[in-house]
Amino acid sequence: MTSRSDARRATAIAEHDRDDVPLSVRLRTETSEAHARAEQSTFLADLMHGRLGLVAWQLLLEQLGAVYGALETTAGRIRENDPSNALLSVELNRAEAIRDDLAALRGRTGFAGVGLLPSARDYAERILSHERRIPRYLAHHYTRYLGDLSGGQAIRVHLDRQYGLPREQAAFFRFEGIRRAPVFKDAYRSALDALPLSPADADAAVEEAGIAFDCNLELFDECGQVFASLAPRIRASGAADAGGGPLSSAVARVRAAA
Ligand code: HEM
């Protein structure tokens, strides 16, 4: 049987080991369960497998516009105070690309959008609130941009296969200023690991990355619910057929999961 002092010793060792683990490794390993949940989100899976329509992507992208707006506004403010911050590369910026894609998608689908949903508003406000808590801000930066450079590219392939996504509607996925994503990601991880963070700051970054994944999950769930409630109207207007697949079974599943 394990005594209390054994348990205390084990915790102390675990904490000690954790301090020796590079931040990039902690971020990846300690968010791996959350990542699996995000990949398996009903909305994202339905979207990627052609069970919704391109309007569902437009709905999510509209919300991501606010999230990237917050990420990039905050990065601008942090850069002003610390221009040497190697992580906040402007080549990552997505807000302008999202604006272009949304204009092109609106033209294609005829769907005007829904405005800012509460989950996206909360997510964006949370990011903005971390302007002076840089480790927590960086957790959001890492979660979105490294995700976009990784699985995000797979999402583009799925969307294109299912709905057709021509170049002028897919600027979000194109990082014109980044020639080789794996090289960029390695440099990003090295820059993370070189930050002079206290153990408490590193813990805060890892904790916040978990929260960033939760923010994304909440956003996907809300998009699923909103899309389900809009689907009859979208279908009636014909917008869902803009490269979309059969809606009915997916809508029923999204409703059941909500
Ligand atoms: C179906 C959706 C997704 C797929 C298929 C996917 C797939 C992947 C894959 C294969 C990698 C590893 C790439 C590499 O080692 O270079 C990765 C990394 C990553 N993904 Fe995803 N992903 C998805 C959704 C998401 C979402 C929704 C987020 C967060 C919003 C996210 C955040 C990340 C992050 C932060 C990394 C970098 C991990 C690291 O190396 O530290 N992913 N993803």
Identify the residue whose C-alpha is closest to ligand 1 atom 10.
151
Closest CA to 204 of 103, 135, 252: 135
Predicted confidence at residue 14, as pLDDT, reads 57
Cβ–ligand 1 distance for 216 under 6 Å, the answer yes
Q: What are phi and psi of 30, to 5 degrees?
A: -80, -5
Cα–Cα dist 79/189, whole Å: 19
pLDDT 10s digits, 80-93: 877 658 899 999 99
- Fold for the domain defined by 43-257: Heme Oxygenase; Chain A (1.20.910)
pLDDT 10s digits, 169-178: 999 999 999 9
Residue that has been written with the tokens 């978990």 in this structure: 210
Average pLDDT, the chain: 88
Predicted confidence at residue 239, as pLDDT, reads 61
Gap from CA of 147 to ligand 1 centroid (Å):
4
Domain ranges in the chain are: 43-257
Closest CA to 130 of 120, 121, 122, 140: 140
Identify the residue whose C-alpha is closest to ligand 1 atom 36.
147
Cα–Cα dist 222/214, whole Å: 12
Predicted confidence at residue 254, as pLDDT, reads 46
pTM of the model as a whole:
0.88
Cα–Cα dist 30/56, whole Å: 30
Q: Is 242:56 a contact under the CB 8 Å cutoff?
A: no
Q: Is 53:245 a contact under the CB 8 Å cutoff?
A: yes
pLDDT 10s digits, 188-231: 999 999 999 999 999 999 999 999 999 999 999 999 999 999 98
Identify the residue whose C-alpha is closest to ligand 1 atom 38.
28
Cα–Cα dist 220/66, whole Å: 14
Atom of ligand 1 nearest to the CA of 216: 30
